[in-house]
Amino acid sequence: MGPLNRIKVVELAGLGPGPMCAMMLADMGATVIRIDRTEPDADAARRRPSLSFDLKLRGRRSIGLDLKNPDAVECVLRLVEQADAFIEGFRPGTAERLGLGPDVCLARNPKLIYGRMTGWGQTGPMAMTPGHDINYIAITGALNAIGRRGQPPSIPLSLLGDMGGGSMFLTQGILAGIIEAKVSGKGQVVDAAMIEGVASLCTSYYGRWASGAVRPERGTNLLDSGAHFYEVYECADGRWIALGANEKKFYDELLRRLNIDPFKIGDHLDRANWEDGKKILAERFKTRTRDEWCEEFSGVETCFSPVLDFDEAPQHPHLQARGTFVSIDGITQPSPAPRFSRTPSEISMPPQAITPENTDKALADWLSRPQIDALRAAGTIK
């Protein structure tokens, strides 16, 4: 019974950020029905994990439809008539060619929020150009800024473009649109482009760049591994720790715990001292294992943490106390976020296969039993 428990969403199956948006809406209680292909793309299927591990598909059921079939398109439009929101992540113009563009859908449901997820946006000279996360973060300036001095830009998984600039902004746009539609009675189109989401995430850095506080060369600034007190260090066992001791009080306590004379490094905000500071801290952290340093800094205010992998993170005492991760069918995965005090989110179900039983359950929230039977008899649903 999450905060969206009365919201209904139709999702056209896609890759990456669209499904992540649908997952978050489902986690928050929305009833989401996913329209999948009857014949999945073979190349995409090879790159995707098996269904049980494709965690972005949790929280909703799917039905298989051939959208080249006019009856299947009409089926989707009947669902759209009841929906609060619609999600599609095709190249610009594809949904229109299928007969499921925003004009058609809004004609059937004037209050609908039609969410469109693309990398480059619906318009512009690159709108039809293929691309992936790495391309979208590259063109916004973000990729160039991530990495170490003298090294190539570092690729931050697909977290920044697909999930941060894509899923989060599409989710925000859909929710804002739903709120506004409750007031105006009118729907609208949400054009969520990853390039604009990433650019928005970089707002503070653009301000610092304009002020001259950020140097053009990556790995030479306060938060990009340039500073010795905002850095990762290898320990005696080959594992790593992370420091974020920006403020003087945290920095002073860090040096005290490491038994390092502050005058040996000098003013911690003076860039001229950063390289020597790194050498001194690197040498000191190499003298103990990561867990020994964790014990040394336990309860100490220095902005210190271990660098954990995906096996270790769910075992961390703080994350366990918070319930940050949950195990479903033996698969550990992040719990829904954020938290709600009165209407908590939940993972209602793991990823579901398209079966006759699950198809019936998926459609039960939208259509009557005779309507479902008629679609099956006509071969519209597979």
pLDDT, mean of residues 286-305: 97
Do 316 and 367 reside in the same domain of the chain? Answer: no
- In this structure, is residue 300 part of a structural domain? yes
In a domain, 52, yes or no: yes
Model pLDDT, residue 37: 87
Per-residue pLDDT at 42? 61
- What pLDDT, on a 0 to 100 scale, did the predictor assign at position 40? 62
Task: Of 143, 59, 73, 141, give the one whose Cα is nearest residue 108.
Answer: 73
What pLDDT is stored for residue 273 in this prediction? 97
349-371 average pLDDT score: 95
**Residue 50 and residue 194 in one domain:** yes
pLDDT score of 105 more than 70: yes
- For residues 269-294, give the mean pLDDT: 98
**DSSP notation for 96-157:** HHHT-SHHHHHHH-TT-EEEEEESS-SSSTTTT----HHHHHHHTTHHHHSS-TTSPPP--T
With 70 as the cut, is the pLDDT of residue 313 above it? Answer: yes
Instruction: Read off the pLDDT of each residue in 326-351 and give the average, rounded to a whole number.
Output: 97
Same domain, 325 and 365: no
pLDDT tens digits, one per residue of 35-66? 998 876 666 666 667 899 999 999 999 999 99
132 is catalytic: yes
Candidate list 27, 36, 162, 224, residue with the active-site label: 162
207 in a domain, yes or no? no
| Domain shared by 111 and 260, yes or no | no
**pLDDT number for residue 16:** 87
pLDDT at 277 over 90: yes
Give catalytic status of residue 162 as yes or no.
yes
pLDDT at residue 279 in the model: 98
pLDDT exceeds cutoff 80 at 251: yes
Domain limits for position 96: 8-201+352-377
User: In the structure, what pLDDT confidence band is assigned to residue 218 with cuts at 50, 70 and 90?
Assistant: very high
Do 39 and 176 have their domain in common? yes
Residues 248 and 155 in one domain: no
Residue 338 covered by a domain: yes
Catalytic residue among 132, 252, 316, 360: 132
Please report which confidence band the pLDDT of residue 230 belongs to, taking 50, 70 and 90 as the band edges. very high
State the average pLDDT over residues 22-45: 87
| Same domain, yes or no: 150 and 101 | yes
What pLDDT is attached to residue 38? 83
Residues 361 and 330 in one domain: no
Across residues 320-326, what is the average pLDDT?
A: 98
Q: Is 305's pLDDT higher than 80?
A: yes
Q: Are residues 29 and 131 in the same domain?
A: yes
The answer on 140 and 84 residing in a single domain is: yes
DSSP 343: S
Residue 196 forms part of a structural domain: yes
Could you report the per-residue pLDDT of 121-162, keeping only the tens digit for each? 999 999 999 999 999 999 999 999 999 999 999 999 999 999
Decide the pairing of beta strands 113-118 and 325-328.
unpaired
- Whether the Cβ atoms of residue 169 and residue 198 lie closer than 8 Å to each other: no
List, in sequence order, every residue forming a beta bridge with 8; answer none if it has no partner.
31
Angle CA 265–271–272, to nearest 5: 60
> For a pLDDT cut of 90, what percent of the chain falls above it?
95
Which residue carries 């398209």 as its tokens?
Answer: 354
- Read off the CATH number of the domain in which 291 is found: 3.30.1540.10
Average pLDDT over residues 337-352: 97
CB 65 within 8 A of CB 98: no
Domain tally for the chain?
A: 2
Spatial neighbors of 328 by CB under 8 A, at least 6 apart, are 58, 347, 350
Residues 47, 41 contacting (CB under 8 angstroms): no
In a domain, 12, yes or no: yes
| Domain of residue 65, CATH code | 3.40.50.10540
Residues 120 and 268 in one domain: no
